[in-house]
Amino acid sequence: MSPNNVDVVTVGESLVLFQSLTNRPLQYETSLMKSLGGAESNVAIVLKRLGKKTRWISRVGEDPHGDYVLATLAGEGVDVSQVIRDKEAPTAIYFKDFKGYGDPSVYYYRHNSAASRLHPDDIQEEWLQGAKHLHVTGITPALGESPEETVRQLMALAREKGMTISFDPNLRRKLWGEEQARRVLLSLIPLCDIFLPGLDEAEFLLGKLPTEEYGKRFIEMGANFVVLKLGEKGAIAFSRSQSIQVSPYKVDQVVDTVGAGDAFAAGFISSFLDSGDFLGSEASLKQGLQRANVLGALATQFKGDWEGTPTMDEVNNLLKGEQSLTR
Q: How confident is the model over 197-213, as pLDDT tens digits?
A: 999 999 999 999 999 99
For residue 103, what pLDDT is reported? 72
DSSP percent split of the chain into helix, strand, coil, nearest 5: 40, 20, 40
Closest by Cα among 174, 180, 167 to 95: 174
Domain assignment present for residue 58? The answer is yes
User: Is 320 part of any domain?
Assistant: no
Closest by CA position to 92, among listed 138, 43, 123, 58: 58
The answer to the question of residue 270 being in a domain is yes
Q: What is the pLDDT of residues 80-95, one digit of tens each?
A: 999 999 999 999 999 9
Q: Quickly count: other Cβ atoms within 10 Å of residue 196's Cβ.
A: 28
pLDDT confidence bin for 275, thresholds 50/70/90:
confident
- The answer to whether 155 and 188 are in contact (CB under 8 A) is yes
248 within domain boundaries: yes
Residue tagged active-site, from 7, 86, 122, 262 = 262
Per the prediction, the chain carries an average pLDDT of 90
| Domain contains 193 | yes
Among 19-28, 84-93, 130-139, 180-189, the minimum mean pLDDT is found in 19-28
pLDDT band at 101 (very low <50, low <70, confident <90, very high): low
What residue numbers bound the domain in which 126 lies? 8-12+39-87+121-309
Element (H, E) at 118: none
Contacts of 189 (CB under 8 A, 6+ apart): 167, 195, 218, 221, 222, 223
Distances (CA, A) of 181 to 39, 176, 295: 17, 6, 27
Torsion sign over Cα 179, 181, 187, 189: negative
* Domains in the chain, number: 1
Model pLDDT for residues 215-254, shown as the tens digit of each residue: 999 999 999 999 999 988 899 999 988 999 998 877 767 6
Of the ranges 17-26, 37-46, 159-168, which one carries the lowest mean pLDDT score? 17-26
Classify residue 268: in a domain, yes or no: yes
Number of C-beta neighbours around residue 80 at 10 A: 22
CATH number at residue 187: 3.40.1190.20
Give yes or no: 67 in active site. Answer: no
In a domain, 43, yes or no: yes
Rounded to two decimals, the pTM is 0.91
Q: Which residue has the higher pLDDT, 135 or 259?
A: 135
In the predicted structure, residue 299 carries a pLDDT above the cut 80: no
Q: Is residue 166 part of a domain?
A: yes
Report whether pLDDT(323) > 70. Answer: no
Indicate the pLDDT class of residue 24, thresholds 50, 70 and 90: confident
